[in-house]
Amino acid sequence: MNTSSDLPSVLVVDDSAFFRRLVSEVVAGSGEFRVIGSAADGVDALEKVHALQPDLITMDLQMPGLGGLDAIGYIMSEAPRPIVVVSAHAGHGSAGSIRALELGAVELVPKEDSQGGRLSSLRIAPRLLEALRAAAAADVRRLPVLARPRSSGAFASTRPAGTARRILAIAASTGGPRALAELVPALPTGLEASVLIVQHMPPGFTRSLAERLNGLSALRVVEAEEGMEVQADTAYLAPGDYHMRLVPAGGGLRLALDQEAPVWGVRPAADRLFHSVAQRVGASAVGVVLTGLGRDGAAGLRAIHDAGGVGIAQDRGTSTIYGMPGAALEAGGADLVLPLGAIADQAGSLLRELPRR
């Protein structure tokens, strides 16, 4: 039987005494984790990381003095360990959260509920504990010291590139925003292909992620909206809390969004997207399953493979968590297992060879 000292330890970092107490109550009452200490700013956090050696950290971003982003950078370079960002999703808070995930934080918990109100311990507990479980399974030692997204050196085109004739479908979860910041900017244009992305992420943050990727990429990257026509040289990111599917529209394709039941406990779910891609474009698709906890995308990647498309899984060595890619390989949908840095070039080569739909 585990004693309290055997449980993973958590350092709680937030300049708000209210949120320090709220997060600490959830962690201490979980029976799965224990609070080893708390800090009110980045400098205090760095000192306590070295003094207390916590297994996990929850980190606010907006703090006086040394803020959360700088603290994350120092921690990941000096004493890497899984960090869960607990942050506001409005305005600058959302953009800062995306940057935090690129720097090495592995999960994200909003400070507001879906109506924009301040969270109570009852409301925050499920998402926070889910994030801590995923963080505890992450191996951040595999990550480079700093995220240096690959950039094509070109600005995203605002000119419509025509109807997509090929599809690249991507699934990602824990560690995904960092992986996407390397993969998406490296994808080539001019292949009559559209990119469809499912990243498990709370509502309120996916628009900022799309904007961040758009600023790095030659592809145009947008948060998906209901009924959008699927165009070439454009990447569409499923909005938080909505499944995204590919559906026919005359001679082309469009996107459909819905809030049907979660799949594998998540919404959006990659399996919903991948199955629709397999059904609509079949042999004109490449599916990619990136880092993440669980098995979302495994059955869908197999469906793409069985429809004549090609499946790619990220390898264990470059995955923050190998759960989703490992499940995809086990399910038989992965034709190739590649390190993150090799996926863009290989996907581009495959898209050039695939038949047009």
- Catalytically annotated residues: 173, 200, 296
Q: Cα separation of 209 and 223, whole Å?
A: 8
3-state DSSP of the chain: CCCHHHCCEEEEECCCHHHHHHHHHHHHCCCCCEEEEEECCHHHHHHHHHHHCCCEEEECCCCCCCCHHHHHHHHHHHCCCCEEEEECCCCHHHHHHHHHHHHCCCEEEECECCCCCECCHHHHHHHHHHHHHHHHHCCHHHCCCCCCCCCCCCCCCCCCCCECCEEEEEEECCCHHHHHHHHHHHCCCCCCEEEEEEECCCCCCHHHHHHHHHHHCCCEEEECCCCCECECCEEEECCCCCEEEEEEECCEEEEEEECCCCECCECCCHHHHHHHHHHHCHHHEEEEECCCCCCCCHHHHHHHHHCCCEEEEECHHHCCCCHHHHHHHHCCCCCEEECHHHHHHHHHHHHHHCCCC
In contact, 106 and 81? CB cutoff 8 Å: no
